[in-house]
Structure 1
Amino acid sequence: MKNGAQTRLLALLLAIITLAAAGLAIANLVQEGTYVPPTDGAPKIEVRSGLEIYMVPAGTPADRAGLRAGDILTAINDVPTPRMAVAERLLEASGIWSKAKYTVLRHPRAGGPPASIDISIILEPADRTDHQVMRLIALVYLAIGLYVLFRRWTAPKSTHFYVFCLVSFILYAFKYTAVFDGLDLTVLTANFIAAALQPALFLHFALSFTGESETRRRHRWVHALLYIPGAVLATLRFLSLEYWSPTQRLQHRLDKIDYAYLATYYILAAVVFWVRYLTERRPLERQQLKWLSRGTVLTTLPFTAIYVVPFLFDWSVPRNLTNLAVFALILLPLTFSWAIVRYRLMDVDLIFKRGVTYTLVTAALVGSYFGLIALAAEVVHNQVKSERLRDWGLILAVIVTGLVFDPLKRMVQGHVDRIFDRKKIDYRTSLVEFGKELNAQTDLRALIDSIVERLPETLLVTRVAVFLAQEYRTPRGRVETRFTLAGSHGLSQQVASAPESLDLGFLDFDRRDSGTHLFFENAQAVLRLPESERRAASALDLNYFVPCRAARHEGSGLSTIAVLGLGRTGDGDFLSSEDMELLESLAGYTGIAIQNAQLYQRLEQKITDFERLRDFNENIVESINIGVFAVDLEDCIESWNAQMEVMYATARADALRKPLNEVFPPEFLTEFDRVRDEQGTSTLYKFRLPTPTGEARIANITIAPLLNRDFQAVGRIIIVDDISDRVNMETQLTQAEKLSSIGLLAAGVAHEVNTPLAVISSYAQMLNKQLSSHLAQDENGRARLQPVLDKIIQQTFRASEIANGLLNFSRMGTTDFSRTDVNATVRETVMLLEHPMRSAGITVTTELAEGLPVVNGNRGKLQQVLVNLVLNAKDALQEKSRGTVRIVTTAPSNGQSVEIRVEDDGCGMSAEVMRRIYDPFFTTKLAPKDGQRKGTGLGMAVTYGIVQEHSGTIEVSSSVGEGTVFRLEFPALDAPSRTELRATGPEGNTEEGKVVHV
């Protein structure tokens, strides 16, 4: 009564908990469906300066917006985010599909202080696909637990298994939705308790699964210790919610501890099952432990390696891979339920019922048999008067009764077998079907494993082995066939680990006197075999060897492809003749299937080698930094590598299988036709190749015939080496060398000319003073001589100015550099030129970016550069009644450099003039108009030298009649830390209203 009451109370309690768990799971699912929070997909934890993004999974909004792992989120929509809870509230306030502004601190990859940048990100609804996957797993756990409980309530450990499945259902089905109401808090608490209980229940199940010994019963209290870590974790969870600050960093660490605790207990359970399986000697328990150990290993290894370990180390793993690892959890209840239900401990009742049934059936058959014989004899005896006929009639009745009864006996026996041994009949039927379906299997390893697994189940043998025939070439050059162990079940560990030590010479079924199979009644005492082969047979301990034959590839007849080896049944019996017929039929299918699998394996290997070679060749063509494409004999493009896509600005899909004249310009086609009939390789040096974008590239183009293995031309291969950058560098180098040479010449000329100019100037001024005193009273003399002397002095000053310009151009001395504010230099230059620009009726406007980084330069020389450019613009605007000069400063490249643009809407320059503007003494102002200066031709040369001295670059673009733009770029001394760079138009905001009219 006590046990019955306890059982009823336990059943009632489990029913209540199950119904409550199912109801909460449904409510939790409904609540989750009504509330979908926005997210950026990047996990974060609290750090001192904000929230550190420690992982950016691919394909998430954070990844698309450009966030990186290691960025520190300081604010969302200009609201600081010191805690994860604040960030979640701000994201919820923004809403799904809204744009949020993230302010993050990012460390430059090249080093240096972190930079504050703003990133716009479009929030998406949180992806809860993994929640649905976990709920599916939870349903599988609960369904299997209920199935085992109702199917085998009294089976050992069935209740324990159901409790484990119920707790697993709560762990995987209950998900926190962030609503944090009463339901959400209940679900969260139940989930924490389940996370603490489930691993301990599983390890407890592993330690106490099979029949408990007396020692285990005395040490049951040790099992209680398994639940202490889980209790500690549950306590930590409670303290973190009620008393500690529930930061994301704390919750993340607790999650890591939970997963480490889960994986550790799972691994320990797998080790326990595996050790118990290896050491168990009882067949039934060993069958159970076989399924339990394999199911635990197949669950634990992928879940730990793919899901737990990356989570502990914050590694990013593709979602499909993690879902696959989570799906492996389904294997655990499946294998456990099979072990409990299929290999239950109490099978005596079934054996007893089967024995009684067979006894009764046999008795009924015997009674019916003899009853019919007696009835026939009595009829013959009474109806036939002749004594002789009576005797023959009785014999005939016995014969007829025997002939009629035999089909009836087989029919009844078949029905009995189907009723009481349906599984064995079904297994053998499935084995015949399996033999017919073997040819569909092309994987040799999978084929052998399926044979090794199916034969013990159908023939109920304890040991099975598959030996494959392999050809070896002897030192004398002869080809011999040897057999090797390819798969086995039930063999000793020593044999399975060292199959190469076996001498299997007795498996020669290609001899003329070989039979359909070999039978060893006692494998340990096969005296007719040589010593080495007898040791091999004894180690294998197999009783039957059946050849698997197939047609030879060369010649006629059959050859042995493999050999099936089998031992006795689990009851120690030999196989029947019916079993051997079935096995020999299966061996024929198996031989053909193995031969097909081997052929397919060799073909697959050749295909793999071919694909690897093809991929290797394609990778070479795709990886080289030179454009390569090929055309057939009809001049249609057949290949187009990645470098051609970049260089020629044409996608591969837009070029393949199109004629050359649809892709390339006429000038290329003309040269291609010119070298078409030339033998060997032709090269077009420094060919100017226009691209579809309007840009022209300079390239060395090599055209060579494309030959096949027979050295016949099947097309042409064209190699395009883009040398545009090299040509530009050569041009710059030539310009630099020219300037260097002219600089040396200018230094010598200036040095030699300056001295006589100074003497001429001094004497001219002395002469002017003397003549002024002597001709003070002579007005006519002064009128004649004074202008001459003034012109001499003026020209000497002009010659001195030219010489000084030459010296400035060629000077190699050091210059003092310091932190220079480009905006301040621009403002000073504009103020300096205010009067001449206003007098010329020219408007100067400035657009200066705020927070511009400083540069390392010489303020005076930079001002000299700006003065030269502005005055040149003034001269270019003299022909217009009104003109504008615009000076713009920006900070491209995220503050790593400073750009100055000087633009005018003057007369512009031709391409010929632009090529020579940096040449010393080149000027277009030899005959200046009113308001223009007469140029020396040194202004732009000096400007070029100053820019180079500051490690900068200068570029010019101009159109005749439209204006000119000079672009100067200097490296920034340091990047801005907190100020956002702004500039107008495409550059951002500027100092509006900073237009200076001068």
Structure 2
Amino acid sequence: MEKSYQTRILAVALALATLAVCILAGLNFSREGDFDMPTDGVLWSETANGLVALHVPADSPAQRAGIREDDVLVAANDHPTPRLAQLERQIFHTGSWGHATYSIVRRVRGSAVPARLDAQVILEPTDRSINQGLRLIALVYLLIGLYVLFRRWTAPKATHFYIFCLTSCVLYACKSSGQFDGLDWTFYWGNIVAGALQPALFLHFAVTFGEGISKLRRTVVSTALYLPGLLIAALQVVAIEVFSATENLRHRLDEIGIGYLALYYVIAAVVFYMRYRRSDQPLERQQLKWLSRGTLLSVIPFTLFYVIPYLSELPVPSPVLKAAGLTLVFLPLTFAWAIVRYRLMDTDLIFKRGVTYTLATAALVGVYFAVVGLSAEIAHTRLPSLKIWGLVAVIVATALIFDPIKTAIQGRLDRVFDRKRYDYRETLIEFSRGLSSETDLAALAQSIVERLSQTLLVARVAVFLAPVGEDSQGPQLAAAHGLTPGEIARILENAPNAGFLRFDAEHHHEENGHIFLEKPEDARTLVEKDRSLAATLDMHYFLPCRVADRRTGRARAIAVIGLGRTQDDDFLSSEDMEFLESLAGYIGIAIQNAQLFRSLETKITEFERLKEFNENIVESIKVGIFTLDLEDRIESWNAEMEVMYALSRGEALGRSITEVFPASFVEAFERSKTESGTHHLSKVRLQMLAGETRTANIAIAPLLTRDFVSVGRIVLVDDITGRVELEAQLTQAEKLSSIGLLAAGVAHEVNTPLAVISSYTQMLRKQTSDDPRLSMVLDKITQQTFRASEIVNGLLNFSRKTSSEFVPVDMNAVLKETVALLEHQFRTAKVTVQADLAATLPCVDGSQGKLQQVVLNLMLNAKDAMADSTTPHLTVATRATDTHVLLSISDKGSGIDPAHLHKIYDPFFTTKNAPREGQHKGTGLGLAVSYGIVQEHGGKIRVDSAVGQGTTFHLEFPISGLQQTVDASSRGYAGEQQTEKIAHA
């Protein structure tokens, strides 16, 4: 609390002092401008005989009037002048540009009696132009002091520096105007006090700069340094106020003050240089290097060309004196850096530019006088009509060539100060221009660190990328130079959690836009975890690369560049940092471009994958798909459409729908365009280019963008020709099933009258046994009744559901019964049946009904195959081997096309789609069902066929008893095969 109170008091005191100094400086400038102090230009010395001329400057009013050194002034304007005060009174009374009559006594060589003469002196205003330059220095001191005070209030020696700047402002801005009233005496004594304190403050800073000096030593040294200045100020007060000092005494006191000022400046420069040689701290060494250079740059010209001539009273041209006094402006500029402690923020740059402008100004003055002299000669001799306007034109032209001269000198100094770095910077500028050409982010980051290291000679460089997206982690190391693998591993682990690498709104950094860590391992401004990472990095500069964020409208850090010291263990200069800050923008844009390019490549890859996936779906789907543009031209045509329509994609694309599809489809399509939404066309018959007719369901829907803007139509063509045929076959099978049920019912009803007819016929046979002719007729009726009954019972047995229980079955009996069942159909078709049955045939295990169904299907197919034959003949044969019963059914029909042999067992495959007279339309199920039954019985079926010669089916069944040894899985496998075939259809 006490420290805070003291700080507030100090702040108020400094504010009041600053305000007072500004007011006094303004008043002094105003009074000096309103008052001209006349002078004769002579340095007079008071003696017993009068005022003796110690020094008469060349081209002064007295010198032009003929006054020489050692002349004695006894009267001015007929008023005696035993003291300097009487002369000054007469000078002020005469005024500037007035004529004053000086009574001079001059010694004549060779004569003992001095000569007395009068000189007419035209008084001139005192030349105070040097005061304006000194006020400029005062303004620089005040501005730098305020900048340091407001920018780094808590920095070491900030208050000391500001007091020094304020004192220097009083020293250079407050000058006596010569009126010597109350306010003018304030200016005078303020200047005296400031002159006593300012050199002591400067040397005090030089001696105590940096760390390592004890508090006791600091106190002793501070006290000793201020004593000479206080003594000089006290002498001034005593000499003027007590003893009414003569002009000689005042002049000597002024010489002491100037010598004191120069001596302290020279000692400070030496102290800075010696400490620079002994310092082992990189930052302090860099500071002291520029402090010593800046001090020497100010002190040497000031001492050589101003102080020494003033003390020795040597004649020096006035422009030289003024230029030497103005070199003091470099002192506050270099001194400012020592307080700000901010990597030589401006000292080195200002130092070089100060020299540049000084040399440029000198060159400009030379050129100016040369051009003016040349133009004056031309104006007087050749162009007398130009008069004053020619001179004005020359002045303007001279001013215009100032900038090229300054630029040329700046380039030369850059090469002198930076040597190879100048070429490196030019290379780096070219590199910054080509940054955007690199699109690979990893290669770009590595290129950045390598080029920065080569250009700035920095030992350690790293690039950290800012997190992208809400779910991303913190900054990530993208590339590094000068780091060991172990350091990189630790950085990769800890960098995402580093707070000092986050240059965003939530992690505010210094206003200068980057971080400087003098000692990374002991950075007090960082938290513990960040301090550990900073120590691992061992870097001193962290510079954000910012880009504009179009969402927020503010700049955001897209990357952070970390840099260490140079290979010579020096810190970077302010010019390096200024250049890096400019380059950071280009690097940020290049990194953003690389990230956008990577994102674009990812999206393109995803888009291509998605496009390929969608195209694969469209190409693989068993539905024809094509799209039309707004002009009804085909834009896409999938593989199914190529197969279905027998038209390649290349031939279809770009053609109008009217050129490809028949008029019936085009008319339906045009009708659909008048309706909104998806339009469905059911069972549309399309005439294919190959000549066949296909049946299809067609869906027509608008093709919309994300914004629901129609860009065309999409058409789906589902070929249902096979499905329609299957439906027809299923309908026919349903009809056959119904007819079978009806036939069973009819057969059941027919059995009753047949039984009655048979009974009555047998009764009549008994009663007419004596009549052979009638008995013969009744026997035939009875036989035919039995035969009809057998046919009806066969139909009933075939229509009944048979059980899956296997029993011994005689295949000869199955064949005979089936032939008897089909006898009428064979007779109608004029088919002769030849039975070549084995006399003794072993039984097989099976279902008699299912086996009879197989034989019935094969015989009916054989009959249909011989419909065009003139001599249809069917052969049925059986024989037995040791293990199997063999059965063959042969016909002399048309045979089977070899292209169809592999499909005859497929469900619903049939060649009887358009049956001839006497044939029935096939369902495609007979052979498929027969194949499944044979497999179920553990048998085999094969076919031999030749087109035009006939077909033979060979069936093979295990003999009864051996069948029981067959694994039960055979029956299951047979059923699975049958199911698979039906499912395949």
**TM-score of the pair, normalised by structure 2:** 0.40
Q: Which has the higher contact order (CA 8 A, sep 6+)?
A: 1
Larger Rg: 2
Relative to the length of structure 1, the TM-score reads: 0.39
